Chain A
Amino acid sequence: MGKTLFDKIWDQHVVEKIENGPSVLYIDKHFIHEVTSPQAFKGIEQRGLNLFRPKQTIATADHNVPTLNQHLPIKDELSKMQVDQLIDNCDKHGVELYGLGHPYQGIVHVIGPELGITQPGMTIVCGDSHTSTHGAFGAIAFGIGTSEVEMVFASQCVLQTKPKTMRINIEGELQPGVVSKDIILYIIAKISASGATGYFVEYAGSTIRSLSMEARMTICNMSIEMGARGGMIAPDEQTFAYMQGRAYAPKGTQWDNQLEVWKKLYSDNNAVFDKEINIDAWAIQPMITYGTNPGLGMAINANIPLSDTILDEGERKNLIKALQYMGLEEGKPLIGMPIQHVFIGSCTNSRIEDLRQVAALVKGKKKHDSVKVMIVPGSQQVAKQAHAEGLDHIFAEAGFQIRQAGCSACLGMNEDKIPAGTYCISTSNRNFEGRQGAGARTLLASPLTAAAAAITGVVTDIREMMNEKL
């Protein structure tokens, strides 16, 4: 029997299988940030240990940093302490840090790929659930807790039980106005916020093959939102072209040698998955969420479901509670509903391609008077590229506020918060209660849909806007 892509990489990284227990899994690359690492550093210090392989850990500050005036000292005392502690810890333990002010600083899942640290065939972990992003390069990448961060510090390994495998095949062409964010929101709405729990997902099919690396990262990024341990895509010419020449990518003959290895990273024809799902790309429409978990999403021109059509009692109660929090009515459409905030950013959608899509749509237009628009590039390098292409100028003309790299209003740890009771169309990954600020009401959507709402001030079907343009 053939092997899946997941199995090929997993098997190669198992140091030892504990009888009746998990496997000792070797970790090639470990990313850390200021929020989930301090207790792990403290832990190994208390045990009198040094980092086992400090060169395989890379740090950045992203979750808890201001996105304005990053050159000034951080005002919030607790945030400052956390960021300072990361600097101290990295210094003490010999970890490379791309902190505030460094040209490589940015959201951990944006900088890993853009620096070429993320490579096919690797095992990658980070104390952050969206580590699944890196799977877009054909790596096994998943989020871990702080105790596991400590394990990697101490031994460069984690103890993991092998997950089941699922393949999601997406075939065919996408409708105009439909982008990768819509694909993943469609999948999650279809299989629910827990539909892939216990599985590691491989995304495959002609639609996936046709997507850029940025678009693939958006899909893998949100694997966790359906409960999956991670998501991955087999590397191909597109992957290699993206990687070549990046700071950490292999060079010269080393590149040639690696390429030969990477080209063997795919699921064999006769590989068997524990579960397979087939999706027709043409059926996907621009998506939006209406509830308080990413599984509560629908086509943008649809009506919110009626609670009495939901058979499962738990799910029905869930929907009623979610709509109450969101201040929305069942059976009603979202199209035309006024929104007050637009957030374009996060590890899901803050890469240069996302910014280019938004810029193409808003060029020469102004945002609606009643909407505040925040656009937060994923990294210093993305910001630099956007500037070089004049995108920042387009955003400024449109009345968007451009901020500096960080996680920002995706989780509202810093001062970038959405006020209670207001609606925000967000390109981020979670619409949980209070995620973007206590009482904030989040509608998840693609950068295109977010940009359209910024201009019109209401939930808008991007396809209508595109038609107008023609």
Chain B
Amino acid sequence: MKALQKIQSRFVPLPMENIDTDQIIPARFLKATTRDGFGQNLFRDWRYEQDDTAKPKTDFVLNQAIYSGEILVAGKNFGCGSSREHAAWAILDYGFYAVVSSFFADIFKNNALNNGVLPVTVSDAFLQKIFQQASTATLSIDVDKQTITIDATGEQESFELNPYKKTCLLNGYDDIDFLLSRKDTIEKFEKELI
């Protein structure tokens, strides 16, 4: 996992609620056996007419040149539905390093963090403020300070991040390294359980 400390970037707004993982990456693209290449199918059915990559839907944000950046901003309950980690892989592979919303589904949140994609939970009011910004506006996210700032206005909110997960993100550590270091404790636990 790559370390993530700070992001300053423009953002892509997706002001819809309950964006489920079937929209993020439809099931028919889950046949791969590696983690790569899912970005091209991110939001596939919202992005193209009749599943044809030659026919981009012009009203969808990913197809609008005025929007770009490493941050996706979406309505509440983002990532609900299936546990497919392919959703997080697709978001990362497309080039987003953070998703901002007022509410995340649990499994998606874990999956994102396990791949170095930061879920930033902000208040409804702050989310609306971000949506009102011009497409050229930038946001700054500081993982260590746990803050997100609208650069144009200086408005800032802090977000929650589990201290353990924060250390992982800042340093690019993953949970498996940690669990492997606890093997003796786990074996001891097993003996006591039986």
Q: What residues make up the interface of A, taking CB atoms closer than 8 Å to B?
A: 12, 15-16, 18, 20-22, 24, 26, 35-36, 38-39, 42-43, 47, 49, 52, 63-64, 76, 78-79, 81-82, 85, 127-129, 131, 143-148, 150-151, 154-157, 159, 161, 163, 193-194, 197-198, 224, 227, 229, 293, 314-315, 317-318, 321, 411-413, 430, 432-435, 438
CA gap between A82 and B34 in the complex, in Å: 10
CB-CB < 8 A to A224: which residues of B? 81, 107
Chain B minimum-CB-distance residue to A154: B176
In contact, A145 and B110 (Cβ under 8 angstroms): yes
In contact, B165 and A193 (Cβ under 8 angstroms): no
CB-CB < 8 A to B174: which residues of A? 147
| A-B CB contact pairs (8 Å), 12 listed | A21-B163, A24-B179, A38-B34, A39-B35, A131-B83, A154-B176, A156-B190, A193-B80, A229-B106, A293-B80, A314-B76, A318-B16
In contact, B175 and A413 (Cβ under 8 angstroms): no
CB-CB < 8 A to A147: which residues of B? 85, 111, 114-115, 174-176
Answer yes or no: B153 CB below 8 A from chain A CBs: no
- A-B CB contacts (within 8 Å), total count: 181
* Given A147-B174, A321-B16: A433 and B23 interface contact (C-beta under 8 Å): yes
CA gap between A148 and B114 in the complex, in Å: 8
In contact, B16 and A78 (Cβ under 8 angstroms): no
Answer yes or no: B54 CB below 8 A from chain A CBs: no
User: Residues of B within 8 Å of A, CB-based: how many?
Assistant: 53
Answer yes or no: B57 CB below 8 A from chain A CBs: no
CB-CB < 8 A to A78: which residues of B? 31-32
Chain A minimum-CB-distance residue to B111: A145
CB-CB < 8 A to A79: which residues of B? 31
Contact digits for B42-57, partner A, Cβ 8 Å, 1 yes 0 no: 0001000001000000
- Residue of A49, A127, A147 with highest tally of chain B CB at under 10 A: A147
Answer yes or no: B82 CB below 8 A from chain A CBs: yes
In contact, B33 and A42 (Cβ under 8 angstroms): yes
Answer yes or no: B6 CB below 8 A from chain A CBs: no
With beta carbons under 8 angstroms apart, the residue of B106, B115, B162, B179 that contacts A227 is: B106
Q: What residues make up the interface of B, taking CB atoms closer than 8 Å to A?
A: 16-18, 20, 22-23, 26-28, 30-35, 45, 51, 75-77, 80-86, 88, 103, 105-107, 110-111, 114-115, 162-165, 174-176, 178-180, 182-183, 185-186, 189-190, 193
CA gap between A288 and B170 in the complex, in Å: 46
With beta carbons under 8 angstroms apart, the residue of A18, A317, A412 that contacts B28 is: A412
* Given A129-B82, A145-B85, A434-B45: A26 and B107 interface contact (C-beta under 8 Å): no
* Given A26-B193, A147-B115, A412-B28: A16 and B110 interface contact (C-beta under 8 Å): no
CB-CB < 8 A to B115: which residues of A? 147
* Given A145-B114, A198-B106: A15 and B186 interface contact (C-beta under 8 Å): yes
